[in-house]
């Protein structure tokens, strides 16, 4: 295999991240169904049944944070590599590790502060489990918030795993492992990936 952004082999962390994304997608689709039903019943009977606005807001927050780790393993999070052709392979590997270090820091921040908000909500006065939403649902906000915080925490753990693995590889000057873990997908590999995806779409849909 050529270097330059082969997606790392699917281990347990990658597999869990993929399952989370499948679940998030299903949740998103369920939201689309609920919102659609609410729009239709609002037009036809002038009532809304499902409080779909509120529920889809919570679902949205959950799907974002649960999908962050998959986007990391799939190398979707964006880095600018316009200047990278000017650098040597070793310098690039060092920059790769610095980048994942910064990302781990960001993820740690989000994880910490998302739990802080969850704790605040929990400690607010309410009937059950802290503050409830102001709507007729009176939904205990702490539930979606906690799942949201779990998503950030998982993202932080996967970042940390990638940081440790890539830093260890860098310490042994194993450049290609660093690249495979956290490198920027090169234009060539990105083209190949897009092509493979499109081929797959074509074969699935049986067109041309």
Query: Checking phi first, is residue 5 left (phi over 0); if not, alpha (psi -120 to 50) or beta?
Result: left
**CB of residue 11 vs another protein: minimum separation in angstroms?**
17
**CB of residue 128 vs another protein: minimum separation in angstroms?**
20
**CB of residue 152 vs another protein: minimum separation in angstroms?**
9
Mask for 7-46, x = binds another protein (CB under 8 A):
-----------x--xx-xxx-xx-xxx-xx-xx---x---
106/101 Cα distance (integer angstroms)? 9
Provide the 10 A C-beta neighbour count for residue 114.
Answer: 21
Extract the tokens encoding 176.
Answer: 């290609």
The three-state secondary structure class of 202 is helix
Residue from the set 15, 89, 90, 202 that interacts with another protein by CB under 8 A: 202
**205 near another protein (CB under 8 A):** yes
| Contacts (CB under 8 A) with another protein, residues 55-114 | 56-58, 60-61, 63-65, 67-68, 70-71, 74, 76-84, 92, 95-96, 98-99, 102-103, 105-106, 109-110, 113-114
| Helices of type H across 74-186 | 89-123, 142-171, 175-182
Q: Which is nearer to another protein, 74 or 176 (CB)?
A: 74
Q: What is the residue-wise DSSP string for 73-89?
A: HTT-S----TTGGGS-H
Q: What is the dihedral of CA 105, 22, 79, 159, to 10 degrees?
A: 30
**CB of residue 182 vs another protein: minimum separation in angstroms?**
10
**CB of residue 174 vs another protein: minimum separation in angstroms?**
19
Q: Which is nearer to another protein, 33 or 137 (CB)?
A: 33
Stretch that binds another protein, among 2-10, 162-170, 172-180, 187-195 (CB under 8 A): 187-195
Q: What is the DSSP letter of 140?
A: B
| Contacts (CB under 8 A) with another protein, residues 138-167 | 145, 148
Contact 173, 149 (CB under 8 A): no
14/149 Cα distance (integer angstroms)? 19
**CB of residue 40 vs another protein: minimum separation in angstroms?**
9
132/68 Cα distance (integer angstroms)? 27
Stretch that binds another protein, among 4-12, 124-132, 169-177, 186-194 (CB under 8 A): 186-194
């Amino acid at each position: 295999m050529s270097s330059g952004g082969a997606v790392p082999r699917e281990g347990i962390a990658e597999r869990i991240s993929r399952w989370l994304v499948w679940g998030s997608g299903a949740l998103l689709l369920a939201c689309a169904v609920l919102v659609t039903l609410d729009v239709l019943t609002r037009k036809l009977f002038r009532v809304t049944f499902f409080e779909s606005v509120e529920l889809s807001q919570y679902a949205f927050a959950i799907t974002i944070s649960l999908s962050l780790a998959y986007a990391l393993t799939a190398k979707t999070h964006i880095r600018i590599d316009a200047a990278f052709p000017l650098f040597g392979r070793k310098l690039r590997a060092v920059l790769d590790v610095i980048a994942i270090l910064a990302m781990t820091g960001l993820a740690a921040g989000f994880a910490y502060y998302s739990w802080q908000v969850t704790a605040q909500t929990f400690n607010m006065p309410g009937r059950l489990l802290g503050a409830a939403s102001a709507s007729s649902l009176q939904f205990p906000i702490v539930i979606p918030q906690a799942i949201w915080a779990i998503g950030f925490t998982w993202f932080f753990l996967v970042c940390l795993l990638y940081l440790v693995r890539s830093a260890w590889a860098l310490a042994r000057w194993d450049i290609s492992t660093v690249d495979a873990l956290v490198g920027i997908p090169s234009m060539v590999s990105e083209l190949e990936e897009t092509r493979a995806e499109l081929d797959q779409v074509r074969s699935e849909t049986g067109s041309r």
